[in-house]
Structure 1
Amino acid sequence: MIVRPRVVLDPGHGGWESGCIVGAFAEKDVNLAVCLQVRELLESEGVRVLMTREDDRILSAGRRVEFANAQHADLFVSWHCDHLPDTEVRGLSLWVDSRRSDLWQMMMFEQLGERISQVTHQPFLGVFQIRDRILQAVDAPSILIKGGFLSHPEELSSAVTPQFQKLQAQGAAEGILGILNDVQNR
């Protein structure tokens, strides 16, 4: 019996929780659009993908953790965008919980960020450590991807287009497949 790897995708925000809003664009919509495409690409490669949300609804942090842990996932990927008062800052970044990360995870996730950057031509800012209650509580290796700054005018205009979302999804799917391969061979 072949066991398919399991990935939980967590499109950030949803429902009344929009994330950052710039003009007519809400972060929650960008997050969901990218994750739906990542799911499609991963499933075409035989990965079992489960999503914390597939439409515009809110799910508490506790419910996200419960869902992810109940799936016995091999990897948990949360997708968000970023926003700063400084409109010059751009690029994508990855975040891990400082209480759970190790050197192997940091290197593995760095390759994921580099792959997205190669496909989208965005600057890759790096893998950073934070204290995050969701990333810390999920049993599987967990990563938070911030796919770009909606506060940067060029990244905003790109982030809301289906073409750019498709590129981000392609880079993320390729990077996730690399991680799953490393996990299985570890």
Structure 2
Amino acid sequence: MVRPRVILDPGHGGWENGFVVEPFAEKDVNLAVCLQVRDLLEADGVRVLMTREEDRELSALRRIEFANAQQADLFVSWHCDFLEDPGVRGLSVWVDSRCADPWQMMIFEQLGERIADVTQQAFLGVFQLRDKVLHAVEAPALLIKGSFLSHPEELADSVNPHYQKLQAQGATEGILYVLKEWQRR
């Protein structure tokens, strides 16, 4: 039996901090969650490869080249979100704007729902965006924005190791669901 391959892409890294709410940087939250997702998926028999496993910079081109060389079954990038309105909270799933497969959109929606079920967050939905990495990666690709660092409570949750573990558990359940649905198709 062939083990499924998943690429985890903790957003940002190195000099690229992502959103910063002193003293916290998005890159650190992204990495912490992805390391836990990796461990949980591997315990379930999934082969996981990561674009980074430490705080280092990796260009979009290097992420794309790495992902495509691995011939993965799924590419998952993890980020946080930020808005000027500190009242907005929740998690969302994003796909490339050229994704026109309604079945894939529904499957990715289930992934987001599973994270929300575990974390008790609002799931805002699946959205499309123009993203060079999502567009160029050959595997089905999505970007999860796990929380709003601009929302005071979500910021406090996002940097809490217990909450990161909950997000990782939900993401793992969702990824396993997606992989199972891919096999059925």
TM-score normalised by length of structure 1:
0.99
Aligned to 2:122: 123
Q: Which amino acid aligns with 2:125?
A: G
Aligned to 1:19: 18
Output the CA distance in 2 between the equivalents of 1:154 and 1:55: 26
> Mapping of 1:25-40 within 5 angstroms?
25-40=24-39
Structure 2: unaligned runs, 5 residues or longer: none
Contact 2:99–2:128, Cα closer than 8 Å, also in 1: no
> Mapping of 1:1-186 within 5 angstroms?
2-186=1-185
Give the secondary structure class of the aligned counterpart of 1:181: helix
> How much has 1:101 moved relative to structure 2?
3.9
> How much has 1:99 moved relative to structure 2?
1.0
Q: CA RMSD in A?
A: 0.5
Structure 1: unaligned runs, 5 residues or longer: none
Q: CA 1:104–1:37 in structure 2 vs 1: closer, same or farther (change >3 Å)?
A: same
Contact 2:6–2:48, Cα closer than 8 Å, also in 1: yes
Q: Which amino acid aligns with 1:20?
A: F
Q: Which amino acid aligns with 1:176?
A: I
Output the CA distance in 2 between the equivalents of 1:159 and 1:139: 30
Give the secondary structure class of the aligned counterpart of 2:125: strand
Q: Deviation above 3 Å: which 4+ runs of structure 1?
A: none
> How much has 1:13 moved relative to structure 2?
0.1
